């Protein structure tokens, strides 16, 4: 893991200096615009259009044409100002309205409350720097090292992503298409949009999934689409939360939830690596830049604590996509196609009836993994089924999720109650479609 990011040093005057008078606002904005890396300032939104056409200059926006689901603007979006992120963005709102003195007070209070929030420290340094003369501000910036500029650029990218998440909200009454139709047996689901550096937590409240909370996250230094150990990329695909790990708080912050990367499909197509976790920040850092981990998905400790206290191990799916396709709940159709449903029903019926011949055709031959699918074990179990020695009382399908991958893949989690064991077994299957035919490539107990 990379060391926590720190705000770049700034030759800034003391906070005890007087706040700027209204006549100095022009100078303040000019100095803020000087405080940029790569030509884009985050603080002082004046004249900058770094988010989208919805974020205009520092004057309030004119009302946009009415739509069925209008998006908020930076100035009108609702905030939870009890959180450090909400408090910081409220300062951006004040700056956009030209209320620099109140913005300064807001950021000053934030850095006292959360001194390890590097982005807040950067904004505070910029606002302090803006109180000096333009010449002093320019001199301070000219003296910044390359390392300081890189850190500053990462923090400013973090700000863009946090602000974009505020303005470009998910559509009302919509879900990621993969979550449409999930049964009540799936209590929670996590979706990560890597382009937006945003994690969405959903809860099933009886009428389908609902968005509960969304959080900024940091991802791999080299981006996404993990292929091998040490490539510093975050994997893409559908995974499951493992058993909570709290013993490494010094490194992983408030809590840690391992993911089952590489999953069984990853292994089949040759992807490698290990230790991809959802976890918090180490001591001394509230958050880090958007691409700053070795592949893990990192949240602030507050957000990670909430997540770990909420979701259920082994039964909470984590969907990691470069782009999330949101669809209206009322119009959405289950992503499970009819051919797969037919194949799954065949398997379920054959297993309940111990029909070895029917089951044999639903597994790909020569499989090397799985308590029920590894080739030798499968052959042994099928022989026992022919003798009616492996009866099951019930097979309860808990969830089925499609995976965006090289070919159509379905991941099924189910609970098996055997007549030979009073304790139900939690199991998972991976199916893939080749030449129009769905077959199982892994079937085994969830560890």
Bin 435: left if φ > 0, else alpha if -120 < ψ < 50, else beta.
Answer: left
Catalytic residue from among 36, 279, 323, 388: 279
Cβ distance 218 to 291 under 8 Å?
Answer: yes
| Axis-axis angle for helices 100-113, 84-96 (nearest 10) | 170
| Axis-axis angle for helices 118-129, 146-167 (nearest 10) | 110
Q: How far is CA 431 from CA 138, 167, 220, in A?
A: 60, 38, 28
296 part of the active site: yes
* CA 242 to chain CA centroid, nearest Å: 16
Residues facing residue 440 across a β-bridge: 363, 431
Quick one: which H or E segment has residue 431?
A: strand 421-434
Peptide bond into 262 cis (omega under 30): yes
Catalytic residue from among 188, 296, 380, 388: 296
Cβ distance 129 to 35 under 8 Å?
Answer: yes
Which tokens is 432 given? 């893939």
36 part of the active site: no
Catalytic residues: 279, 296
């Amino acid at each position: 893991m990379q060391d926590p990011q720190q705000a770049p040093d700034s030759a800034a005057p003391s906070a005890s200096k007087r706040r700027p008078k209204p006549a100095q606002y022009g100078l303040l904005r000019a100095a803020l615009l000087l405080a940029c890396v790569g030509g884009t300032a985050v603080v002082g939104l004046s004249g900058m259009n770094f988010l989208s056409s919805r974020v205009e200059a520092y004057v309030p926006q004119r009302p946009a044409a009415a739509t069925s689901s209008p998006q908020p603007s930076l100035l009108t979006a609702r905030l939870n100002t009890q959180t450090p992120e909400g408090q910081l963005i409220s300062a951006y709102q004040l700056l956009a309205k030209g209320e620099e003195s109140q913005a300064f007070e807001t950021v000053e209070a934030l850095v006292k409350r959360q001194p390890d929030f590097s982005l807040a420290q950067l904004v505070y340094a910029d606002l302090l720097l803006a109180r000096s003369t333009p010449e002093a501000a320019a001199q301070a910036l000219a003296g910044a090292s390359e390392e300081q500029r890189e850190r500053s650029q990462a923090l400013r990218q973090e700000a863009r992503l946090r602000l974009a998440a505020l303005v470009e909200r998910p559509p009302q009454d919509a879900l990621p298409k993969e979550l449409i139709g999930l049964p009540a047996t799936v209590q929670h689901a996590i979706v990560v949009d890597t382009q937006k550096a945003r994690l969405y937590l959903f809860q099933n409240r009886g009428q389908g999934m609902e968005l509960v909370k969304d959080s900024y996250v940091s991802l791999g230094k080299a981006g996404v689409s993990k292929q091998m150990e040490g490539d510093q990329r975050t994997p893409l695909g559908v995974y499951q939360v493992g058993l909570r790990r709290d013993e490494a708080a010094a490194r992983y912050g408030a809590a840690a939830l391992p993911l089952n990367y590489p999953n069984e499909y990853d292994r089949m197509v040759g992807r490698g690596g290990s230790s991809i976790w959802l976890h918090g920040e180490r001591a001394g850092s509230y958050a880090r830049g958007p691409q700053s981990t070795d592949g893990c998905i990192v949240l602030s400790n507050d957000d990670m604590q909430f997540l770990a206290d909420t979701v259920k191990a082994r039964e909470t799916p984590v969907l990691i996509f470069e782009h999330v396709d949101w669809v209206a709940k009322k119009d959405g159709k289950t992503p499970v196609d009819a051919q797969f449903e037919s194949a799954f029903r065949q398997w379920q019926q054959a297993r309940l009836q111990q029909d070895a011949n029917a089951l044999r055709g639903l597994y790909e031959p020569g499989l090397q993994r799985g308590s029920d699918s590894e080739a030798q074990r499968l052959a042994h179990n099928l022989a026992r089924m022919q003798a009616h020695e492996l009866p099951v009382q019930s097979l309860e399908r808990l969830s089925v999720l499609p995976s965006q991958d090289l070919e159509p893949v379905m991941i099924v989690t189910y609970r098996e109650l055997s007549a030979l064991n009073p304790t139900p077994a939690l199991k998972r299957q991976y199916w893939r479609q080749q030449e129009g035919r769905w077959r199982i490539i892994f079937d085994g107990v969830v560890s």
